[in-house]
Amino acid sequence: MQWRAVHEAETTDSNWQEFRPRPQRVTPLETLGRLFWNPRWNETLYLVSLSERLTLEPTEHSEREIKTLLARHLHMVEPGIERLQFRLVFVRREGGDLIEEITHLSEPFTASGIIR
Amino acid sequence: MTFETAVRATEILLALAFVQQSLEHLKTSTDIRWLFLLRILACLALLSGLASIPALVTLALISLVMLHRFQGPYNGGSDRMSLLILWCLLLAQITPSPLWQIVAFAYLAAQLTLSYFISGWVKLLNPEWRSGRALRDVFQFSAYPVSENLRAFSNRPTLCWTMSWAVILFELLLPLSLLHQNLLIAALGIAALFHLANACLFGLNRFFWIWLAAYPSLLWFQWFIFEAT
């Protein structure tokens, strides 16, 4: 999933960022700890499920959940962002090539209004 | 392993797995923290062994609320296995007939066996898995590897091919281990290592704990079918 902050004057389709990019490496000690405590990663896996649901069988619940998780996360790591947008990018193999396809593009939404 | 021992072992392992899941939910599912606090209390009651049936009924009702809240499983296969174990345990505890108690618990053992066999069969039918390509793709561009460094496994086709076939053959052959108790214990040990590897590589920690919780049912089932008679 990718997201971007939306500014009113902006007209270009740019500044998309990957949501929660994975770290370059995870140490053995961190790996051991994650066996017992891994809430952030499991929430990210839930987000993957929601993305698949939104692509295959769109529901208001899936879209609302993704918006809430995105807004809540950004509220913690990058407070001050008012309007947001997300898109789902699926990668698949066709023969020897990897094909990227945008399967969903949300409308811009106000972050502060949906954080529970 | 006797029926009573297996049921009790399953209750303890299930309660511990649910406590682990619930503590994580307290961090992330902030709108329904009360539900996961209640779930932890029910798990403590189940662990104590003093109120197994009320605890299992409470956990079963909570599982329905969770399915409604998340509109399906929160964590895919691990939640499905959680539900399977919970409902089989509940049925095995509340049904008055010893025969139906055995049927409910044997159903869990059968489903556990099928979870490996069908997974292996589906991979065997898929040419992408037979060539190792599917596993290389998982490492190369799927959402699952926990770090960018792990993506380098996609550049090692021989290793991915070997791992793919090791998994396929193990999953297909696991049902044969039911023929002897020692063989089954060894097979479940390897299966646990497989889930541990998935937890380390793909962050699937909940799968590791919940699949362990189902193993006593299979140990009892093997004893019941091949050794008790």
Task: Answer yes or no: is A13 within a domain.
Answer: no
Distance of residue B74 Cα from the nearest chain A Cα, in angstroms: 6
| Count of domains for chain A | 1
- B30 pLDDT band, cuts 50/70/90, is confident
Nearest alpha carbon to residue B77 among B222, B216, B217, B214: B214
Cβ–Cβ contacts within 10 Å for residue A109, how many? Answer: 18
CA B228 to chain centre: 26
Q: Which residue has the tokens 């979870």?
A: B115
Per-residue pLDDT at B86: 97
| Token output for B143 | 């959402």
Task: Answer yes or no: is A15 within a domain.
Answer: no
- Cα distance between residue A81 and residue B191, in whole Å: 46
Contact A33, B18 (CB under 8 A): no
Q: What percent of chain A lies above the pLDDT cut of 90? A: 65
Contact A99, A83 (CB under 8 A): no
Q: Which residue has the tokens 């392993």?
A: B1
- Cα distance between residue A71 and residue B134, in whole Å: 34
Nearest by CB to B208, from A23, A35, A44: name it: A35
Q: What average pLDDT does range B138-145 have in this prediction?
A: 94
Nearest alpha carbon to residue B52 among B115, B94, B84, B6: B94
Per-residue pLDDT at B41: 97
- Asked if residue A94 has pLDDT above 90, the reply is no
Q: What average pLDDT does range B189-196 have in this prediction?
A: 97
Q: What average pLDDT does range A3-32 have in this prediction?
A: 87
- Cα distance between residue A32 and residue A27, in whole Å: 9
Residue B50 DSSP SS3: coil
Range of the domain at A83: 2-8+21-110
| Token output for B40 | 């932890």
Structure-model confidence comparison of residues A94 and B45, the more confident one: B45
Per-residue pLDDT at A95: 79
Q: Summarize pLDDT for B7-28 with one digit per residue, the tens.
A: 999 999 999 999 999 999 999 8
Task: Answer yes or no: is A35 within a domain.
Answer: yes
- The per-residue DSSP string of chain A comes to -EEEE--TT--SS---EESSPPPS---HHHHHHHHH--HHHHHHHHHHHHHHHHHHS--HHHHHHHHHHHHHHHHHHSTT--EEEEEEEEEEEETTEEEEEEEEEPPPEESTTT--
- Cα distance between residue A34 and residue A31, in whole Å: 5
- Please tell me which residue of chain A has the smallest CA distance to B16: A36
Name the average pLDDT for chain A: 89
- Please tell me which residue of chain A has the smallest CA distance to B133: A93
Residues linked to residue A110 through DSSP beta bridges, in sequence order? A83
CA A36-B145-B116 angle, to 5 degrees, is: 75
Task: Answer yes or no: is A61 within a domain.
Answer: yes
Residue B144 DSSP SS3: coil
Q: What average pLDDT does range A60-73 have in this prediction?
A: 93
For residue B142, what is the enclosing H or E element?
A: none
- B31 pLDDT band, cuts 50/70/90, is confident
| C-alpha distances out from residue B119 to B86, B105, B122, B139, B172, Å | 22, 21, 5, 19, 8
| C-alpha distances out from residue B9 to B4, B37, B154, B177, Å | 9, 23, 39, 21
Per-residue pLDDT at A10: 63
Task: Answer yes or no: is A80 within a domain.
Answer: yes
Flag the least confident range among A70-84, B118-132, B215-229.
A70-84
- Please tell me which residue of chain B has the smallest CA distance to A37: B24
Distance of residue B169 Cα from the nearest chain A Cα, in angstroms: 25
Q: What average pLDDT does range B191-219 have in this prediction?
A: 97
- Cα distance between residue B135 and residue B138, in whole Å: 5
* Whether A37 and B24 lie within 8 Å, measured CB to CB: yes
Task: Answer yes or no: is A75 within a domain.
Answer: yes
Task: Answer yes or no: is A115 within a domain.
Answer: no
Which of the residues A30, A34, A42, A63 would you substitute to probe the B interface, choosing the one with the greatest number of B C-beta atoms within 10 Å? A42
Q: Which residues of A touch B204 (CB under 8 A)?
A: 45
Per-residue pLDDT at A76: 83
List the end-to-end C-alpha distance of chain B, in Å, as a whole number: 13
Flag the least confident range among A25-34, A46-55, A91-100, B200-209.
A91-100
Residue B209: exposure state from Cβ atoms within 10 A (0-12, 13-18, ≥19): buried
- Please tell me which residue of chain A has the smallest CA distance to B24: A39
List the end-to-end C-alpha distance of chain A, in Å, as a whole number: 21
* Whether B147 and A26 lie within 8 Å, measured CB to CB: yes
Per-residue pLDDT at A111: 83
Cβ–Cβ contacts within 10 Å for residue B125, how many? Answer: 9
Name the average pLDDT for chain B: 95
Per-residue pLDDT at A8: 67
* Whether B199 and A48 lie within 8 Å, measured CB to CB: no
Distance of residue B210 Cα from the nearest chain A Cα, in angstroms: 12
Per-residue pLDDT at A74: 87
Q: Summarize pLDDT for B75-125 with one digit per residue, the tens.
A: 889 999 999 999 999 999 999 899 999 999 999 999 999 999 999 999 999
Flag the least confident range among A31-35, A84-88, A96-100, B121-125.
A96-100
Greatest pairwise CA separation for chain B in angstroms = 57
Nearest alpha carbon to residue A36 among B71, B88, B163, B20: B20
